[in-house]
Amino acid sequence: MKQLRFAIIAVAVLGLFGAAAEAVAADLPAATIEALFAPGRDLADVKLTVDHLVDASVNIETGIAIIDRMAGEVRSMLPENAGGAEALAALRRYLYKPGDWNGGLAFSYDQADPLGTNPVNRKLSRYLETRRGNCITMPMLMLFVGKRLGLNMTLAQAPLHLFIKYTDDDGKIWSLEATSGGGFTRDVWYRQKLPMSDEAVSNGVYLRPLSHDEAVAVIGSTLVEHALETGNYENAIAISNVLLKHYPNFAYLLAKTGSAYGGLLHRDLAGKYTHMEDIPVELKAKADEWYRLNGEIFARAEALGWRPDDGQIQ
């Protein structure tokens, strides 16, 4: 019964992806995904490359040039020998306060799509163009510019949300909420606003500074979402396998991968066969394997403390 429960969960979740999507995205080779993890690769370049793989109109070089220019403009606002606190304050002012430095148009939270549910709004180029972002693009831009200023920043996760972990000049680690002016935020606030299990926190699923490779995997998970949205479940699984190699405990991605196996079952079996004996032998063998993997992968995510209702106020 446990595996059946997971299979039902997978199909239910797939409703968000448009399981009946007619268009199927072109397969992305494993080598293309692995290249995102090249040692020392700039995270801004990773994000723009991922966006380009989803939408070929995204210009990587233009995006990098804009981020570099922004960092230069923030740097020009700083006094000589400025420390981390001054650089962080200038970065916040530059991004979130209207002034000459941003043409009077500050970056702000898109209340119409705060989670970046619309795929278009997940693109960094869209945020740079509209200056209205979400819990995906806002922390990423703040991180990309901040790192160019020498600030010690990385991404961290809460359920369905990204934020920044910042280490100050004294070695103290702070949480920064990019959707709220880049202000200091206590981890308990995330736990109150975005419910998560104690187990997930203790296992490092949430609220922990991510390593470089883990941050790359989080950025790259957009490619899995895109493959699911377009009904290319095989490529969603192939991409996930590469990302999970670098971030094995990425619980959200494990759930997405389980959903992809559920999608295969739904696509190839649902409504097509009246009796089990009608299913071709080769397809039945595949379906049995998909069913097994669907259950096992969801079980791995739940063993880490992930729950289907993470982040949802009851």
| Spatial contact of 283 and 268, defined as CB atoms under 8 Å apart | yes
Closest to 157 in 3D by CA, of 312, 311, 44, 314: 311
Residues 6 or more apart whose Cβ sits within 8 Å of residue 124:
44, 47, 48, 51, 63, 137, 140, 141
308 in a structural domain: no
Backbone Cα Rg of the chain: 21
Whether 309 is covered by a domain: the verdict is no
Q: What is the pLDDT of residues 292-312, one digit of tens each?
A: 999 999 999 999 999 999 988
* Containing structural domain, residue 58: 2-303
Q: Which helix (H) or strand (E) holds 158?
A: strand 152-158
| Cβ atoms of residues 302 and 150 within 8 Å | no
Integer angstrom CA distances of residue 104 from 13, 48, 96, 220 = 41, 26, 10, 33
- Return the H-helix or E-strand segment holding 244: helix 233-246
Beta bridge partners of 221: none
Q: 178 pairs with which residues across the strands?
A: none
Listed residue (126, 101, 106, 146) closest to 48, CA to CA: 126
pLDDT at residue 314 in the model: 58
Which tokens go with 117? 């549910």
Residue 143 lies in a domain: yes
Whether the Cβ atoms of residue 182 and residue 176 lie closer than 8 Å to each other: yes
Asked if residue 310 is part of any domain, the answer here is: no
Residue 19 lies in a domain: yes
Distance CA 297, CA 254 (A): 6
Closest CA to 71 of 181, 172, 151: 151
pLDDT of residue 304: 98
Neighbours of 106 (CB within 10 A): 16
* pLDDT tens string 78-91: 999 999 999 999 99
- Closest among 225, 231, 264 to 243, alpha carbons compared: 225
pLDDT at 24: 66
* 313 in a structural domain: no
Q: How many CA atoms lie within 13 A of 277 on its CB side?
A: 0
| Strand 173-177 to 132-133 pairing | unpaired
Counting every residue written for the chain, the total comes to 314
The answer to whether residue 249 sits within a structural domain is yes
10 Å CB burial of residue 192 (0-12, 13-18, 19+) is: exposed
Report the domain count for the chain. 1
From the centroid of its chain, how far is CA 215?
Answer: 9
Q: How far is CA 196 from the centre of its chain?
A: 17
Successive 10-residue mean pLDDT values, the chain, 314 residues: 36 37 72 96 98 97 98 95 96 95 91 91 96 96 98 97 97 97 96 96 98 98 96 97 98 96 92 83 93 96 96 76
Q: Is residue 314 part of a domain?
A: no
Look up the pTM and report it: 0.90
The pLDDT assigned to 166 comes to: 98
